[in-house]
A and B are shown apart, each in its own frame.
Chain A
Amino acid sequence: MRKVAVVGAGMTLFRRRLQETGKELSFEAARMALDQAGVEINDVEAVIHGTAPDAFDGVHMKGEYLADGSGGARKRYMRVFTGGGTGVFSAIAGWWHVASGLADVALVVNEEKMSSCQPHPQSVFAYIWDPILDRPLKPNLVWIFAMEMNRYMTVHKIPYEDIARVAVKNKRNAAGHPCAQLADANITLDDVVNSEMMAWPVRRLDISPPSDGAAAVVLASEDVVRKRKMKEHAAWIKGVGWCIDSTMWTDRDLYFPEYVARAAKMAYRQAKIDDPRKQIDFAEPYDPFDYKELHHLEGLGLADKGKAGLMTREGVTERDGDLPVCPSGGLMGVGNPIAATLGIKIGELYWQLTGQSGKRQIPNEVRTGVCQAWGDLMQFGSVMVMGT
C-alpha cells in the first residue's frame, strides 16, 4: 500500500456570512493549499470535492457547480458526500486516489456556503428527516441533538457542567485560530450554563453556528514527497476508516456512537494502533455540539464510556494536557461550515504535526493524532489517523 501524506493545507475565514461565492471560496482555499504545498494545479492529477447539502448553496449537483473553483476543470474530479462526515471523509477519498496508484498528487477541496439559504439555513434541516415518519412532526434539528445529549447524560449520569466545560475549552482554544468565528478567550462556565435554553438540555452556547467557509489539503505519494523534498512539511496518513449505521435512528440507543467506534477500529487497525489512549497524542473529534466531543471521544476509544467528561474536568484535554482535544477550537470555536471543517480536522492535524500551528501549537511533542467527523442522522463516522 502506497504511503500518502498531507503536504499542504489552506482555509478561508469561517463566518456566518461571507461575500465570496462558493466558487471563490473553493478557489481561495485550494490556492492557499497549493501554495503551501509548493505544487501547481498542473501537478494535481485528481481533485476531490466535499460539500454537504446542495440546498444550502441552492444549486442541484452542487459538486459540478464548484468544480472550476476547486481546480477540477478538465481533470479527474470527484465529489463525495456523507453529510457532516464529509469534513474528514473527502480526505479519505483523496487518500484512496493516491494510495491506489491512480494519482501521485491529489487536491481535496471542501466548501460550504450556508448563508445563501434564506431565511435561515435551519430550514434546510427540515428536509433531512424521513418524509413519512418524521417530517409531519415538523422537527427542528436541535431536537435530535437534544435527544441524544439527554440519553447520553442520563445513561451515564453526567452533570451538565461537564459538558458545558467543553464549550468553554474550545471557544478559548479558538482564540488562537485566525479563522475563528466564535472564539472567546474570556468565556466562563457560567456563561454557558446560563445561556438561553433552546431545547432542553441544549443551551445556545452548546451549539456551533452555521458558517460559510472552505478548506483544502494537498495529498502526495511518498515518491513525490521524497523527490520534491517535502518531508519537513508532510504529515502521513496512517489509517482511514468509515462506517454508517441504519437510517432507523429511532430504533437505536443513542448513548454511544457505535458507528464511530467501528470507523475508528478500521483506522486504528491500518495504523497499527491497539491502545489508542497510549498511542494517540492528540485528537480532533467532531464537536458540532459540546457533548458531541465527549460522545465521540468515547467512540474513538480515547475515553471509557461515560468518562470523557471527567477528562475535561481534570484538564486532560486542554492543549497542555495529557491528551489535547480540539486544540484548534473545534467547530464550537472556529465555526461549522459542515464539509469545510476539513480545515480544523485534517488541517489542524497537519498543522500540529508539522509544527505550524502558531499560537495553538501543543507544547508537548505530538507524533500521532486522530481526527473524526460525524454526519447524517446520528449515523456516520469517518476517522483518520495521521502521524509523522
Chain B
Amino acid sequence: MEEVIPSRQPVGAMKGPRFVPDCSIQLMPWRASPVRVLGRDVPNVEVVSDTGEAFRELPMKGANFPALRVRGRSVEDYMQVSVPKLGRGFGKRGGTVEVDSGEVFPKDCAKPRHEGDTDWRDPLRDFRFFLDHGSGCNAGQTFIPIARFRRAAGLAGVESGEMKVGIVGVGITPFRPTTPEFSWKELTYDGAQRAYADAGIDPREDVDTFITCAEDYYEGFGIFDEFTPDQLGAVMRPMHTVGGDGIAGLANAFMIIQSGIADIAVVESHSKASDILTYEGIVAHGLDPIWNKPLGGHPNLIAGLEMDAYLRASGNTAKDCAAVVAKNRQAALHNPIAGHAARVTPEQAEGSPALWAPLRTLDVAPLADGCVVLVVAGEKAARKARTTPVWIRGIGWATETPSLETRDWTTSPATRIAASMAYDMAKVRNPAEAFDIAEIDDRFSYKELQHLEALGLARKGQAGKMVRRGDLAAGGKFPTNVSGGSLGCGNVLEACGLHRLAEAVLQLRGDAGSHQVDGARNAIVQSWRGLPAASGGVAILGVGK
C-alpha cells in the first residue's frame, strides 16, 4: 500500500496492530468552514455524531464525520471532508474515498487490517479528530489532536462503569471574609459535621475513602496532606489530596466508586484565605519562573488581558460584565451562606476603579473563608440514603496548558474539552436545552460569560445579551448562578467547584429554601482553578431515576 507519511501520522497509515479503543466524537462549536462533498461545496450541513447529537454549526476543518445529513437527508456512505492541500478522508465499507490532494488515505477500510482485528466493521474506529486553531485553512496548518474519550457507560457495554454515582450529603459552612475563631481544622470539622448529618452517616463506620482538594501554598504548609484526616473523621482510613479543584476531587470519588473498591466517599475542600497575608504573592507564585515571574506585576493583570481579548473576540461588552456582577451580588442576598451579598448595581460595578483595565475591582470576586463537604455514594448505597440522591450523569475535567504564551485567551478550551467529556457521558445532545440551572465559575465577572459560551449554553457573543435581558436571573429562562456565585458568596479558592456542586445539589433536591428555582431537575456545574491555571471541570447532575 502506498503511503505518504506526514509528520503527524494519520491513524490509517500506521503499520502493525493499532490501538483501537471505543471512541466517540466530540465536536466543538468552532468557526465554520465549507464542507465539500464529492468535489462540491455543500452549505447548510448538519453534522450528526454517533451518539445522535446534532450540531448546528458547521464542522471544523479537517474533521472526519461518521454521518452527514445534507439538507436534512442522511447520506449513507461516509463522506469525506477535503481540505485544500490537506486532504483527508476515510471510507466506509463499500464506499469510495476521495481526497482532493495531500495524503492518500487507505482505501481498504472494508477488510481486517491485521490478524486478530475484530473491529474493522466498527465505523468509528480509526477515527481521529484534529483541531485547528487557525483562522484560515492553510497548507501546513498545525493540527493538535485531542484525546478520544470513552463512550458513556452503557453505550460501550463495559462491565464496570455502569453503576450510577450520586451525591447524598452536603455540608457548607457559612462563607465569611474572616473566621478568626476557627482554625482551619475546626472550620473543616464544622463543614464535615454538617455533611455527615445531612447524609445520615458516621464517617468512622460508613465511609470508605476520603478526598480533599487543597494546595500547599494556599494553606501555608510544606505537605498539607498531613493536616487533613483528623477533622474529617479519616484517621486510619484511605484518604488522599488532589491538587485540583472540587470537581476534580469529585471525579476521583466517582472513579474510585466505579472501580468497585468503595461504596461511599467524602470530598472536602476549604478556604482559609484570611490566614494568607500575601494572597497576590501566592497567586503570582503560580506563574512560570522563567517566562512570567520576572515580569512582576499583579497577577490580576492576566485576568485583565484575558477579559480584553475575550470581549473583543466575542463581542460581549464591559456593560454585560457589570450586569453579571450586579446579578450575582444581589442574588446572594437570598443565600444564607453567602459572604459578600450586596445590593450592587451595574453602574456601581462599571464605576469601580479599573486597576487592571478593563477589569475593575468589582469584577473580581472577593475572598472568603469556608468549607464544603460532599458525601458521594454508589448506586446501591445512594438509594438507601436519607436524602434524594442527586446523580452524577456526566463528569469531565481537563487542563489546556500552563503556558500563557501558547494558550487560547478567548474560548476557554479546558472548559470545552471538559464539557464535551461530560456531555458525552451524559448523552447530552443539545446543551442549551438540557439543563434547568447552571452554576458556573464567575471568579471574574467576564468568566461567567466566557464559560457560558464555552459550555455551549450560549452562542458565541450572545451571553452578554442573555444576562442583560434577564435570562440568567432567578426568574429568567436559564437561571445561572442563583446561588450568588463566587462574586456574591465569596471566592473560596479550591473549594469553589465544590461550592457550586453543593448549591446545585440543594437546588435539585428542592432544599435551596429562599433561593430555590422551582422544578429544577437537571443542572450543569462548571469550575475553573483560578489564576494562572487553564484547568477546570464540568459535572452534570440530575434527579430522578
Contacts and interface: CB of A to CB of B under 8 A. Distances in A.
Contact, chains A and B (beta carbon distance below 8 A): yes
Interface of A: 1-2, 21, 39, 42-45, 52-55, 58-68, 72-83, 89, 93, 95-97, 99-105, 124-128, 130-131, 224, 227-229, 240-248, 258-259, 262-263, 266, 270, 375-377, 379-380
Given A64-B402, A82-B240, A244 B161 contact: no
Nearest to B161: A101
A96 B288 CA distance: 31
A83 B243 contact: no
Interface string B421-454: 1000000000000000000000000000000000
Contact of A61 (B215, B223, B255): B215
A224 B215 contact: no
A62 B243 contact: yes
Interface SS, B side: loop
A291 to B, nearest CB: 21
B84 interface: no
Interface stretch (B104-112, B152-160, B357-365, B499-507): B152-160
Given A54-B215, A65-B288, A74 B261 contact: no
A21 B402 CA distance: 14
Q: For the complex, would chain A's binding face be called helix, strand, loop or mixed by DSSP majority?
A: mixed
Interface string B160-172: 1110000000000
Rank and list the top 5 A-B pairs by shortest CB-CB distance, nearest first: A101-B161, A127-B222, A79-B243, A100-B258, A99-B259
B159 to A, nearest CB: 7
Contacts, number: 240
B160 A246 contact: no
Contacts of B288: 59, 65
Interface in B214-229: 215-217, 220-223, 225-229
A116 B230 CA distance: 32
Interface stretch (B64-72, B174-182, B278-286, B508-516): B278-286
Given A59-B286, A74-B417, A68 B401 contact: yes
Contacts of A258: 236
B61 to A, nearest CB: 17
A83 B243 CA distance: 12
Nearest to B158: A101
Given A100-B256, A244-B238, A67 B147 contact: no
Contact of B259 (A1, A54, A76, A130): A1
Interface residues of B, number: 81
A128 B223 contact: yes
B529 interface: yes
Nearest to A74: B146
Nearest to A248: B230
Contacts of B215: 54, 60-61
Contacts of B241: 80-82
B234 interface: yes
A100 B261 CA distance: 10
A58 B289 contact: yes
Given A83-B226, A246-B229, A78 B236 contact: no
A201 B204 CA distance: 37
Contacts of B283: 60
B276 to A, nearest CB: 11
Given A42-B147, A76-B398, A102-B255, A224 B19 contact: yes
Interface string B101-123: 00000000000000010010000
